[in-house]
Copies of this chain bind each other. A is one copy, B any other.
Amino acid sequence: MSSDRPSSPTVVNQVLLVECPDRRGLVHDITGVLLRHNCNVTSNHEFVEADTNRFFMRTEFSGEVEPSSVLAETRHLLPAGGSAQLAPQRRRRVVVLVSREHHCVADLLVRHAFNEINADVLAVIGNHDALGSLVGKFGVPFHHLSHEGKTREEHEAAVVKLLDALQPEWLVLAKYMRVLSSGFVARYARRVINIHHSFLPAFVGAKPYQQAFRRGVKVIGATAHFVTEQLDEGPIIVQQVIPVDHTHGAAEMAQAGRDVEQVVLARALRLVFEDRVFLSGNRTIIFD
């Protein structure tokens, strides 16, 4: 279906991303750089995080610029510990990891096929082969890397070898049910996005719907977050919930949860792939 895909409509402008310790006059100074380059700012977001006194800025602008000189001039303005970058003007390179559940990856494949996300899905890797048929329909390569008969290290080594060949910028865990080693996470630090089947931090760990049922909650949710070495404790990107009641057993809660997982992951990927998400320690700043 790739021939159906026009060029991405979502980010037509350049995007400048800045973060640094706050000081007076940053917005004035940074917009001054763009003005001197005859750029037209079309959208601008800034935020100063109170407890860290850190400044974050995302600016979309149009106009022909020499990226290296815009960056050099901007960086020159920033206090020590700051960074500035221009988002690449092409789709993000993404690999998706799955196990047996289809709903998140199916939604992602449909959005990809109709060019609704700013990403190229280079491949889907499954530790089961259940979803190979689905992925194949959409013309995306599927790699079955079974974990059976392998240690965690052996299995991850096989995944890493494939990722080294594909060179993705982002990994998406679309209901990938394997715990990642800290070594693996460190290798892709801040570049792995997971959909967790609960409203974190409630019900960390295994079988969250079973936990939710036993606790008798009246709302269940889903959380898209970056993966860090602390399982289920990485920075949260998107959370959403739906009401449940006593007629929902654990299976019905899981069923209800799937729809919200799909929506939450889609929204998180849009935000990340459009460079709208900054990380600050264990929190995210999101300019939408």
Contacts and interface: CB of A to CB of B under 8 A. Distances in A.
A241 B263 contact: no
Contacts of A27: 27, 31, 41, 44
A35 B28 contact: yes
Interface stretch (A78-86, A153-161, A231-239): A231-239
Interface residues of A, number: 62
Contact of A201 (B215, B237, B240, B282): B215
Question: How many copies of this chain does the complex contain?
Answer: 4
Interface string A197-219: 00111110000000000111111
A212 to B, nearest CB: 9
A110 interface: yes
B221 A219 contact: yes
Given A49-B246, A199-B199, 5 more contacts: A27-B44, A47-B246, A107-B110, A219-B240, A246-B286
Interface of A: 1, 4, 24-25, 27-28, 31-32, 35, 40-42, 44, 46-51, 102-103, 106-107, 110, 113-114, 133-134, 137-138, 199-203, 214-219, 221, 235-241, 245-247, 249, 259, 263, 266, 280, 282-286
